[in-house]
Structure 1
Amino acid sequence: MSQTANLSQIYLDANATTPVLPQAAQAAMDAMQDLFGNPSSSHITGLKAKNLMEQTRLRAKTLLGTGSGKLIFTSGATEGIQTGIISGLIKAKTQIQAGKKYTLLYGATEHKAVPNSLAHWNEILGIHAEIKSIPVDHTGELDLEFIKNEVGNALMICTMAVNNETGVYQDLQQLEHCIREQNKEVFWLVDCVQALGKRPINLATTSIDYAPFSGHKLYAPKGIGFIYIRDSAPFTPFIAGGGQESGLRSGTENLPGLAALNVIFEMLLDKDNSSFYDVDTLTDYRRQLSHSLSQAFPDIVFNHKFKNSVPTTLNFAVPGFSSKELMDLFDAANIRVSSGSACSSKVTRSFVLDAMGLPAWQSESAIRLSFGPAMTQAEIDTACLRIRSAAKALTNSCLMLDDSQVLQDRAPLDGLVQLRSGSSCTWIYADLKSKQALVIDPLPELEKRIDTLLQCQQLTPIAILDTHGHADHISGRVGLAQKYLATQKTDELGWPTETDILTLADETYHSLALGELTLIKLPTPGHTDDSISLLLTSDPHKLTTHTRYAFCGDTVLMGTLGRTNFATSSAFLMYHSLKQINRLIGQQTLICASHDYNNEFTTSLSAEVIRNPLLQAVLSGVLSESQFAARKADLDANLNDEVGSEILCGAYNTDCDKAQIKEYNSAGLKLRLSTSTNVKILDIREPHEYALQHNLDTTSEPSDIDNVLNTGINIPMTRLVQFIQEHQSDKESEWVLVCRSGSRSMVAAQAMHRLGFANVAHLKGGYALSS
């Protein structure tokens, strides 16, 4: 196993799922071995099984205060939600009056299972009611005024007791008063999944019609849940068949799951003999964790108020850090957290936080830390220690400053760094010998991070530049320039007014010296009228062969060209700018754009003309200005307005063709390395991940695969573009990319393959699955 795997896991993702408590697991095993009978059988083995099932039901009814209401066991919350919604809507359909408009209401921060189910059954049943989301305020509380105005025409209203992302709970008594004052007959479903064991529940004292629950959110196995149905609420079986559960829910009962639930219910009822801690203890756990997080990340922002949240959930964001970066950091410390909602790994933004009206960066960078009521003080102590250690490790990447760490301990920076916020890119070039730096297209979200990097590396910027005026944000250039270049006179993009004049082929250009390199300013209007490109070269008189990077802003993007339908755009000017770039730089020169919509890092003219017929036509001379303008207008017509919080700066294909990259598992990689001496390992983890892996666990011996992987070189993803540039002549070697989980290595391998690295592969599952 990898060294990190030997480090004890701290699991802080309980809102996604929980481990099964040992007592519950044992009860499930006993049920499989001894009480394996079918509860529907009339022999003794079946009767014992039925007795266990009814004992579990009785404890659940006592715990939840169901009174005379029904309690039906299900496969989980999703089935419970379907059961409640279909039961309510089938009955509601019979009460619809012709000509009257009806609605279905749900909370804007509701789990997606609810609105998706409402939409599904609304269509299937032919009800065709208007589905409306109930707004929430900045604290996540439902808008009662909206409910008062809308619930009178509602057939059903769905809310949740506790939100799965933020832990925000609703005042159910106040909510009930609001609903029933306006509509005593509307069917009311309350998602209680995250409330069990965290909030007091007494269902019989409410007018809640349906309340689904899930076992795996509270230390029971997956595949077991239950739903409460008020005695006066309509009911239609969601699953028909053999008539189990008294005909209410057919299908042979999940007895091992019920046995585990039985133990959980027993613990919740008998607090003197329970593994669960009380609210005061859990609140103190939250205080300790939030304090450690605030110590580790002084700029941390919590995305919810503690006063109306259960103590077992913390949702936060750290300025300058993406959720992916923070997840990788925590994972390297063997702490499990999640990014917003864990129900979809592809979500890059939280609809819950959006609904609360939080700034876009908080929604896009949110981390959810959650624990269950069986969390121990020892685990909290370890988690707090690891959190502080994780933050300290960020100094290895110069992502945070720590005055207690000597500068010599930090990896020196020499070359190009790519920083990102969403799909927007900032580029920093550091010259180690001269200790000078160049900052291009600094994003406001990254302003502090750039400042930290410059301080940490003791770099002096010679220029802080934009490649064009940005329509969707204020540049971070102004604040940085005030700090580092307060006396420097510049134009509106930051180019110094006093620079060298360079003559190339009878044309003059402005240039700057950066150590032994030269930065050339090239006007390339089109995307905007002020657009420029910046060429960094080791020999200004041999640009086609010695230009290392072309910072083209949004003129040439990966897979497309920058849009030309802004008020300050011109397709005619872009036509000539593209030709000028083509004349000056080489076909393999790496183009560093201001946006990267498909995680491709960088590109080149040779790579782009293969997949961009419009660019190919311009560069080959088969299109006139007017023909290009017409085709460009068609391309821009396909643009959506935004991606995330950003204005799209170029039409792009969201289903871009990604190369099929060869994948190794750990055994296959060891075998390949034993038969070839030409394979090169490229580890793309960040330096702080190394620091955590090796500093937190110093006792375990590295495994065979660790020894194999440790023979490779480390190139963090933020430095991948420089690696590609430096290895242009080494594209035939077999490179195997490795990261923590295999996701980053796959993306980076695809980018390298597109740029001509013919034999690139990656380790599937990364270090996490290596053994």
Structure 2
Amino acid sequence: MTTEIYLDSNATSVVLPAAISAATDAMGQRYGNPSSTHATGLKAKVILDEARACAARLLGVGNGRLMFNSGATEGIQTAVLSSLVALRERRDAGEAIGTLLVYGATEHKAVPESLAHWNRLLGLNLTLHQLPVDHEGAHSLSALREVAPRAAMVCTMAANNETGVISDLGGIEAVLADSGSQAYWMVDCVQGLGKLKLDLSSTRIDYAPFSGHKLNAPKGIGMLYVRAGAPFTALIQGGGQEAGQRSGTENMAGIAALGAVLAALERGDTFRTQAELCNFRARLADSLRAALPGVVFNNPFDKSLPTTLNFAVPGLSSRELMDVFDAAEVRVSAGSACSSSKAAPSYVLDAMGLPLWRSAGAIRMSFGPLTDEATIAAACARIERCGAALRASCLIPSDRTAVPHDGLLQLGVEGACSWMALDAASRSCIVIDPLPEHAARIEAYVRCQNYQVQAVVSTLPNAGRAMLVEALGRHFNRAADADEYGWPSNATPVALGNGAAASAITLGEQVLACVAGGQLRAYLLGTLEAAQLPAVSVRFAFSAGLAQQDLRDIISERTLLCPTRDEQNHFCTSINAEPAATIAADAQLDSAALDAFLQAHPDACLVDVREPYEFAATVAPLPAGRMALSVPLSRLAEYASAWLRAEQAPLVFFCRSGNRSMKAALCLRRLGHRHAYSLNGGLALASRQSHAQPLPMAA
């Protein structure tokens, strides 16, 4: 039984069971070619005709054309090609056609890309003009009024795919009419099917593309409406199917499935009402407000589809939110599914003029009109679980102090690293080389766990520590003066392994010793033995640029070198680390081989390298039904030090997709651990037959 809660219906939707049955029937029983005139072909043609007739009634097609195609992108291409071919013919005939190809700033990228493509290929050389939207995502009618007399084509949408904002199509039509514009008008109706009442023939809309998979039909099937009298040029020429409008043998399984969805819409007995959908959205919104303090919704609910929520949380990136929701098996997205894999702010929210933190941290939660009460109730419970996981990880405010962590924590951004050495027993820590980008995160972490920061030190002078010291307030130990590196004047003298003198500050049972090297500093973290820090007792060394040979006689081969720069995601290294190119190719295990591997190696340890909030939010079984240790990549150096000093039992790292776990496995192998592996494909592809309780994170 699946534990997944799917809330990404604006990307694609689950297929209606009746649609699956209709597609199966079309493939298994009525498999004929609808262009054939024999009985088998005629049975298939009935499917085609009935689906088209139903769509025509639902959409108010009137005398317009309605053809089946592969989906919205093909429909957009066909509409743009048809318009631009007609514009070129009119211009060649000496008619004035306008100079602008106008499209809404929040349109799906398929629209401007299609406009640019055909504009170039047809040699029209018209100017693409972006129509602005206001802070709620509505098209600026005043801006449209200014450019309408010069517009050759206007492209808008019925409802936005990221925000669900519903366009004022009546207002746009009035502006075009009042200005006397002769522009062709395309309206992307993909998100409107089944959610908005459409009577296309009563409008001046020339083209309206639709896509079946946005409303419970399969992928690869769609429709295009063309107003009666609007110009038309076929995108695909061939055997003359679809009355010569779109050649190629029809996708009968897809058409049958879409027909079943359209029939359900027409009957009105399958999908939720608008009132029910609005209630579902309100309940999700209330759960988000309770679980995620400060959450801000980027779409006005009174002007949006009731099936879409778009939100951001102060201090959290969209990646962090995506990860915690995915761990809880709540499927959401960061904006459009076509661009959510790209680490960039939402262009839709940028066009609305929202602050960068809202556009870069946006999450889209969308459900379909098939959604039921049980799904919403379960989603609300999972949202609370995600909030609790984020609070426990100190990523959002909490009334309770989190359980403190021991050891070393690494924070990275664009190849640079900040480090925190933590001691739970004394509730104290030392910050090393803090980056300005990490100041807020470190400050929140310290306050959440109620640490006292003994020092904020840098390997270079004045390297970004002042901002953090100021932010820490009472959590920073101001008992002693410090030099330009942040090193306190009351540090205790110690001897290093080579006999050289140094100074150190205490952190629980360990010390951090300072090693000067001209303009550079290095810091050694380890355990004193009779006022001396021998090389074998140094667990970690932090350096901005001191060469390994400068440290060789005061550290051991087991000392991990913790960089201030880590562009290659090595996390840490050592004086005897192997080059990455020499690592064996057997570092990956697929899910099929995992069970056999674990049976052969009963002492193997499963290690989850996802972040603590992902680990805490997890609801699905873990690989092979085994318990797992939570070691996020930010704490890999701490655990690697312990693993390398103990008997080397096999380590099998896993994460969501296999990317992070492979980095961990390669890190351990470079450091000399020969039995480190990564689960290829991660939890997304793992075969998980039984539930297992995750091991708690070590303090």
TM-score by length of 2: 0.85
Say which SS state the counterpart of residue 191 (structure 2) adopts.
coil
Once the two structures are TM-superposed, the CA of residue 114 in structure 1 deviates from its matched residue by: 2.1
8 Å CA contact 1:548–1:725 kept in 2: the answer is yes
Identify the residue that residue 364 of structure 2 maps to in structure 1: 368
1:340 aligned counterpart, secondary structure: coil
Task: Pick from 423, 430, 436 the counterpart of residue 422 of structure 2.
Answer: 430
Q: Could you tell me which amino acid in structure 2 is paired with residue 211 of structure 1?
A: A
Pick closer, same or farther for the CA change 1:276–1:100 going to 2, 3 Å. closer
Q: Which residue of 2 aligns with 1:356?
A: 352
Tell me the distance in 2 between the aligned counterparts of 1:12 and 1:501: 59
Query: Whole-Å Cα distance in 2 between the matches of residues 16 and 182 of structure 1?
Result: 36
Give the corresponding residue for 2:265. 268
**Counterpart for residue 35 of structure 1:** 30
- Matched residue of 1:258: which SS? helix
Match of 1:478 in 2: 470
- Answering whether residue 506 of structure 2 is matched by residue 513 of structure 1, we say yes
Deviations 1:405-432 (A, max 9, x none): xx7xx76511012245676644322113
Deviations 1:457-504 (A, max 9, x none): 443221245666999999444222355447775567755465456787
Q: What RMSD over aligned residues (CA atoms) do the two structures have, in Å?
A: 3.9
- Alpha-carbon offset, residue 110 of structure 1: 2.1
Identity of aligned residues (%): 44
Aligned to 1:601: 571
Match of 2:624 in 1: 706
Q: Is the contact between residue 732 and residue 759 of structure 1 (CA under 8 Å) also seen in structure 2?
A: yes
Cα distance between partner residues in 1 of 2:350 and 2:583: 31
Distance in structure 2 (CA, Å) of the matches to 1:304 and 1:423: 34
Question: Does residue 682 of structure 2 align to residue 763 of structure 1?
Answer: no
TM-superposed deviation, 1:400: 5.0
Provide the C-alpha distance between the structure 2 equivalents of 1:286 and 1:469, rounded to a whole number of angstroms: 52
Equivalent residue in structure 1 for 2:65, among 64, 67, 70: 70
Shift of 1:533: 5.5
* Aligned 8 A contact 2:433 2:463 in 1: no
Q: Which structure 2 residues correspond to residues 367-516 of structure 1 after superposition, within 5 A?
A: 367-400=363-396, 412-420=404-412, 425-440=417-432, 449-465=441-457, 475-481=467-473, 483-485=475-477, 495-496=487-488, 498-500=490-492, 511-516=504-509
The CA deviation string for residues 52-109 of structure 1, in whole angstroms up to 9 with x for no partner, is 2222212212222222221111111111111112222222233447999944333332
Q: Cα 1:732–1:594, aligned 2, differ >3 Å: closer, same or farther?
A: same
1:360 aligned partner, one-letter code:
L
| 1:334-366 CA distance string (max 9 Å, x none) | 211122222245312223233333333333332
CA distance in structure 2 between the partners assigned to 1:439 and 1:548 by the alignment: 16
SS at structure 2 position matched to 1:194: helix
Tell me if the contact between 2:601 and 2:650 (Cα under 8 Å) persists in the aligned partners: no
SS in structure 2 of the partner of residue 249 of structure 1: coil
Deviation, structure 1 residue 287: 1.0
Match of 2:316 in 1: 321
Q: 1:246 aligns with which of 238, 243, 246?
A: 243
1:234-281 per-position Cα deviation (integer Å, ceiling 9, x unaligned): 21111122111001001111222222222222232333x2x2222222
Q: 1:135 to 1:470 in 2, by over 3 A?
A: farther
**Aligned equivalent of 2:691:** none
Q: Which moved more, 1:466-475 or 1:184-193?
A: 466-475
Distance 1:666 1:295 in 2: 38
- Hey, what does 2:692 align to over in structure 1? none
CA displacement 1:719-764 (0-9 Å, x = unmatched): 1122233334579764321123323213333444455545532112
Could you say what secondary structure the match of 1:109 adopts?
coil
Secondary structure, in 3 states, of the residue corresponding to 2:197? Answer: coil
Name the aligned partner's letter for residue 49 of structure 2: E
Match status 1:160 vs 2:160: no
Cα deviation, residue 207, structure 1: 2.4
Change (3 A) 1:11 1:522: same
Q: Is the 8 A contact 1:673 1:679 kept in 2?
A: yes
Q: Which runs of 5+ in 1 are unaligned?
A: 1-5, 557-575, 612-655
The 1:582–1:66 alpha-carbon spacing in structure 2 relative to 1, beyond 3 Å, is farther
Please, which moves more after superposition, 32-41 or 145-154?
Answer: 145-154
Aligned to 1:3: none
1:110 corresponding residue in structure 2: 107
Matched residue, 2:633: 717
Residue 538 of structure 1 and its aligned partner are, at CA, apart by: 3.8
In the superposition, relative to structure 1, how do residues 764 and 719 fare at CA in structure 2: closer, same or farther (>3 Å)?
A: same
TM-score by length of 1: 0.78
Q: What amino acid maps onto 2:62 in structure 1?
A: G
Residues 9 and 366, structure 2, Cα contact 8 Å, conserved in 1: yes
- Distance in 2 (CA, whole Å) between partners of 1:744 and 1:396 is 22
What stretches of structure 2 of length at least 5 have no aligned partner?
A: 688-699
Aligned pairs for 1:272-291 (under 5 A) are 273=269, 275-291=270-286
| One-letter amino acid of the counterpart of residue 218, structure 1 | L
Deviations 1:300-340 (A, max 9, x none): 22233323322211122223333333223222322111222
Return the letter of the residue paired with 1:517: Q
Q: Determine the structure 2 residue equivalent to 1:644.
A: none
Is residue 597 of structure 2 the alignment partner of residue 672 of structure 1? yes
